[in-house]
Structure 1
Amino acid sequence: MSDQNQQSSSVQTQVEIFKDNWEMAKVALKLKIYFAEKGWVSVDIQKVEKGYYDQDLSWRMRRLGAPSEAYLCKSMIMENTGFKQEFESKYYQRFYCVIIQYVTKMNSDKLLKAARAIQNNNCEEKVGKSGYNLRLLNEEESNQMTGYGYNGVTPFLFNQKMPILISDKLGNLNPKFFFLGGGHADLKLRKLKLIKNISYQNLFIQKGVSFDEFINKHEYDVYPCDLSDTDKNWKHLQD
């Protein structure tokens, strides 16, 4: 088959995949164009079945080809209702995107301390406790901020740019990648890596988004946070 015919076949396949949901198709195309223009190499779009979130975590792990449940993550949008406008900077914002593993439980106190540490460690005028009160946005509010609906939040191309706090536990995984939502409840971010086996046949290995590429290439400010650390690491924070 010629390259032109292969390309035509690929386009036709994509049309078949998304023909029943053009909203999903628009999201997938927007992200694909973005990743191509920015030179991302570890990210691609995968469509999953409806009812994906009705299944348990073990099923989802197998469906995505993840090495373990620890590789599956979610993105949440938090608002700092204690935000003080006069201290606004790239290190101190009203809204934050938080990425954590499904197998862990977010500790609100440690998340707050991590957000404070980012500001206190980088700004001459330090914001104290009264300048922080993080709450999870509801579905409608999250949609307005990100442009993505329920179970579809992906930390790219938000309606409003914001810092990203990502669990540094993901950086300790081996291999060091993870899986994310893809802008729609039925889309996920992952990458198929093409390799050649000893008989020179093409094999595809499921991989997720590279942790290092996410940290180094993302256009938003990304902060790996040790959300499970002990309180002794936060003693320097401004009260």
Structure 2
Amino acid sequence: MEELAKLETIQTQILHRIAQLELSILPSSNNSHTSATTTESRLSAILVAAGVNDFAFKRVPSDYYDWSFEARRDVLGAASIHHLCKSIVLVNTQAASDITDCSDRQNSKYYVVVVQYTARFSADTVKNFLYTLNNGKIPKKRFNLRLAPEEISNKLTGFEHNAVTCVGMKTDIPVILDEAIVNLHPDFFWLGGGEIDLKLGIKTSEFINFTKPFIVNCSGS
């Protein structure tokens, strides 16, 4: 166990050094070096403490979101464009008046859904899933999942648009993982890393163990 802890420490140090090297050669962004390093260190510490070992952070240029999926795949070293994913915060606009937070995973006011950039997200599928999850005891009309306003997403997660990740959120929001991501090979995908130009790659099984998501077939190609 002591040797494993040493290896984890060395791995984290290496990841930090790589990030610092990339910062010195990539175009400058709106985020300061200090802020970026702090974010990566904080999220790395959370993951390691939770027993997650197979993950990596990668800093990307400031114009990353102007690039094609193929270019994004290449700069991250992702296995395919389908391994590029995003986390979006949804709000149940028709929840009962007493449902105002995330204390009930099965009937939460908010959810974070992780989907592929190449997929077409289906809010209706999530609606039907939640209706079934509650054994039909809550009327289906009480589920209407919509993209949460950006200011609400920022407040709940602590992360801005294009930076949202399921690690280190301010609020413990239930996570829904699209089943298509679970079926990816190899089983290592990329998502936001807490800052717009910071991305997190993680082994799917370790992501599942960490976030304990509902796995739902909620998209199409």
- Specify the TM-score bucket, using the shorter chain as the normaliser: 0.7 to 0.9
1:16 & 1:172 partners in 2: Cα distance?
33
Which stretches in structure 2 are left out of the alignment for 5+ residues?
1-9, 25-31
> What's 2:218 paired with?
227
Q: Indicate the residue corresponding to 1:170 in structure 2.
A: 181
Q: Letter of the aligned partner of 1:223 in structure 2?
A: F
% identical aligned pairs: 29
Q: 1:119 to 1:21 in 2, by over 3 A?
A: farther
Q: Is the 8 A contact 1:47 1:187 kept in 2?
A: yes
Equivalent in the alignment of 1:70: 82
Amino acid at match of 2:187: K
Q: Any idea what SS the aligned residue of 2:65 has?
A: helix
Query: What amino acid sits opposite 1:129 in the alignment?
Result: K
User: Which residue matches 2:208?
Assistant: 215
Aligned residue for 1:89?
A: 104
Say whether the 8 Å CA contact 1:71–1:170 is kept in structure 2.
Answer: yes
Q: Contact conserved, 1:72 with 1:179, CA < 8 A, in 2?
A: yes
- Aligned pairs for 1:1-239 (under 5 A) are 20-84=32-96, 85=98, 89-120=104-135, 126-190=137-201, 209-218=202-211, 221-228=212-219
Could you tell me how far apart the structure 1 residues matched to 2:162 and 2:46 are? Answer: 21
The answer to whether the 8 A contact 2:120-2:219 is kept is no
> Rg larger in 1 or in 2?
1
Deviation at 1:212, TM superposition (A): 1.4
State the shift of 1:15 in Å.
Answer: 5.2
SS in 2 for 1:183: strand
| Paired letter, 1:225 | V
Alpha-carbon displacement from aligned partner over 1:183-218 (angstroms, at most 9, x marks no partner): 00110112xxxxxxxxxxxxxxxxxx1111111232
User: What is the Cα deviation at residue 93 of structure 1?
Assistant: 0.5
Give the residue type in structure 2 aligned to 1:77.
V
- In structure 2, the partner of 1:204 is none
Evaluate the alpha carbon distance shift between residue 80 and residue 13 of structure 1 in structure 2; reply closer, same or farther with a 3 A threshold.
Answer: closer
CA apart distance, 1:86: 6.7
Contact 1:114–1:226 under 8 Å retained in 2: no
Provide the alpha-carbon RMSD of the alignment.
2.6
The list of structure 1 runs, each at least 4 consecutive aligned residues, that deviate by more than 6 angstroms after superposition, is none
Offset of 1:136 from its aligned partner? 0.5
Count how many residue pairs are aligned between Structure 1 and Structure 2: 199
2:157·2:170 contact (CA, 8 Å) conserved in 1? Answer: yes
Cα distance change, pair 182–86 in 1 and its aligned pair in 2 (3 A): closer
Distance 2:188 2:22 in 1: 26
Question: Aligned letter for 2:182?
Answer: G
2:29 corresponds in structure 1 to none
Say if 2:19 and 2:57, in contact at 8 Å, map to a contact too.
no
1:179 alignment partner, SS class: strand
Deviation at 1:25, TM superposition (A): 2.0
Please, what TM-score do these two structures have when normalized by structure 1?
0.75
SS at match of 2:111: strand
Q: What TM-score, normalized to structure 2?
A: 0.80
Q: What do the CA deviations read for 1:2-21 (whole angstroms, capped 9, x no partner)?
A: xxxx99x9677655655843
